[in-house]
């Protein structure tokens, strides 16, 4: 592949893309990145107050503004950009190329919705494309890709620690040609949003199976199923996150036909791992865009001549100069972590990219949370009010440390995998000692080696 010409990569749309990544962008992707940037700058961010007004009047459902923008984006071919090129339904982008676009979409919380690239539909589309039958794809995946409906992913429960998903306890019972669901769920998208048409639910179908990884199954649950009730919308750090929202649900003898079983009974963990990879890095991609927006606001405040404590601009204080520098350094470092994960998936697949995905999940939300916290500090008291988007950005980053599994679970995974290397590492260090003794004798030197009982 020929490297793009420098003139193709000039301008603010490409300002934060690392040089090695720029060299790998194809003309097709470069055009998409530039067009997404223009949309965000001229069509989406300036309309945030309009969206706020429409959601305040009618929080649940697809706002008129969003319907209008989605129709135009679809017509212009800026649609379903997230689906990787390993799927026949893909527009042909790599995860690395999409990562550059997803960050731009993330500059506005609902920006990705305009391009049908928002959670949880992105992860659900990947799941349906990868694991469902052709009949299931026609009924459930096709409307998602066309944007005529929305979906939810139902895994978290209120009464058990579902950070260990083997604890998922909502019961799925086989009854003739149907499955019957009983129990409670948290999160997933708000049932009051009538654009939402179905949930993908993980539940306990074979509790006596001696293999805990084969006890659970996944079902497609229509949102209008009798017995499925939303108890209330869940606010997250005070935000209702309309129009998608989060809910608390009860399932009371909800009957689902066998045709809605995904892949087979006892296959839920296999499916979940295939789904969560993309979802984890998509959140981190969008968080980069949120953080860039926050840093821009902080820089504006630093140079605003109206704010001069002790006669100096806020940005003239050494502490704030260093604060801004640290934010930039951390943000650029997190971008490298995210894009490395995206390219690892492109080159070797999600399974081989497990560590890189976990790095994203652990490092990025916490770092972005800290960056936004510093931006709020620069703004002073105003920074924690609705005068700026900063509190909402902070809340999103904080929530992302728990979404698709808490960061502590992913740290545990990374640490466990590292400790598996102990035997091989020990052998290598024992060999260092052996060779050191040989070389010491060869050179006539008395060498001090690491004690054998330490190896």
Give me the residues paired with residue 174 across strands: 179
> What does pTM read for this prediction?
0.94
Q: Are 31 and 14 in contact (CB under 8 A)?
A: no
Q: Are 319 and 312 in contact (CB under 8 A)?
A: no
Ordered by start, the domain boundaries in the chain are 15-118, 149-267, 276-419, 421-455
pLDDT at 227: 98
Separation of alpha carbons 370 and 376, rounded Å? 10
Separation of alpha carbons 99 and 97, rounded Å? 5
pLDDT at 87: 76
Residue 334: closest CA among 377, 290, 303: 290
SS3 content of the chain, % helix, strand, coil (to 5): 55, 10, 30
Count of helix runs (H) and strand runs (E) in the chain: 15, 7
Instruction: Tell me the backbone φ, ψ of residue 112, rounded to 5 degrees.
Output: -65, -25
pLDDT at 7: 67
Residues of the chain with pLDDT under 50: none
Arch. (CATH architecture) of 276-419? Up-down Bundle (1.20)
For domain 149-267, give the CATH number: 2.40.110.10
- Burial bucket for residue 355 (CB in 10 Å: 0-12, 13-18, 19+): middle
Give me the residues paired with residue 201 across strands: 154, 219
For domain 15-118, give the CATH number: 1.10.540.10
194 CB-near residues (< 8 Å, 6+ apart): 60, 61
């Amino acid at each position: 592949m020929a490297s793009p010409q420098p003139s193709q990569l000039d301008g603010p749309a490409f300002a934060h893309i690392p040089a090695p990544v720029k060299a790998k962008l194809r003309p097709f992707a470069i055009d998409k990145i530039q067009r997404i940037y223009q949309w965000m700058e001229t069509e989406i961010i300036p309309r945030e107050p309009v969206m706020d007004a429409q959601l305040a009047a009618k929080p649940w459902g697809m706002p008129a503004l969003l319907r209008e923008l989605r129709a135009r984006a679809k017509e212009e071919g800026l649609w379903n950009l997230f689906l990787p090129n390993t799927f026949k339904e893909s527009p042909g982008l790599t995860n690395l190329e999409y990562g550059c676009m997803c960050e731009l979409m993330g500059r506005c919380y609902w920006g990705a919705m305009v391009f049908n690239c928002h959670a949880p539909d992105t992860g659900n589309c990947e799941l349906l494309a990868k694991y469902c039958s052709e009949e299931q794809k026609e009924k459930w995946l096709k409307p998602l890709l066309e944007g005529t409906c929305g979906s939810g992913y139902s895994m978290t429960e209120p009464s058990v620690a579902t950070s260990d998903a083997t604890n998922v306890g909502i019961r799925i019972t086989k009854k003739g040609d149907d499955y019957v669901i009983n129990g409670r769920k948290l999160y997933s998208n708000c049932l009051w949003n009538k654009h939402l048409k179905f949930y993908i639910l993980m539940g306990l179908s074979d509790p006596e199976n001696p293999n805990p990884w084969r006890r659970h199954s996944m079902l497609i649950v229509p949102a209008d199923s009798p017995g499925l009730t939303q108890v209330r919308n869940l606010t997250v750090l005070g935000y209702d996150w309309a129009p998608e929202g989060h809910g608390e649900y009860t399932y009371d003898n909800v009957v689902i036909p066998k045709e809605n079983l995904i892949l087979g009974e006892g296959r839920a963990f296999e499916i979940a791992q295939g789904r969560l990879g993309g979802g984890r890095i998509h959140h981190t991609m969008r968080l980069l865009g949120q953080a860039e927006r926050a840093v821009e606001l902080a820089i504006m405040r630093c140079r605003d001549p109206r704010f001069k404590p002790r006669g100096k601009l806020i940005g003239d204080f050494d502490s704030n100069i260093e604060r801004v520098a640290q934010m930039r350094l951390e943000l650029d470092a997190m971008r490298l972590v995210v894009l490395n994960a995206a390219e690892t998936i492109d080159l070797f697949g999600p399974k081989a990219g497990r560590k890189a995905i976990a790095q994203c999940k652990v490092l990025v939300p916490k770092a972005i949370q800290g960056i936004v916290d510093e931006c709020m500090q620069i703004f002073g008291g105003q920074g924690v009010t609705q005068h700026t988007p900063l509190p909402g950005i902070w809340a999103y980053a904080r929530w992302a440390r728990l979404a698709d599994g808490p960061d502590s679970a992913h740290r545990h995974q990374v640490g466990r995998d590292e400790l598996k290397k102990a035997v091989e590492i020990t052998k290598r260090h024992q060999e260092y000692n052996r060779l050191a003794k040989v070389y010491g004798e060869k050179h006539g030197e008395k060498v001090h080696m690491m004690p054998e009982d330490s190896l």
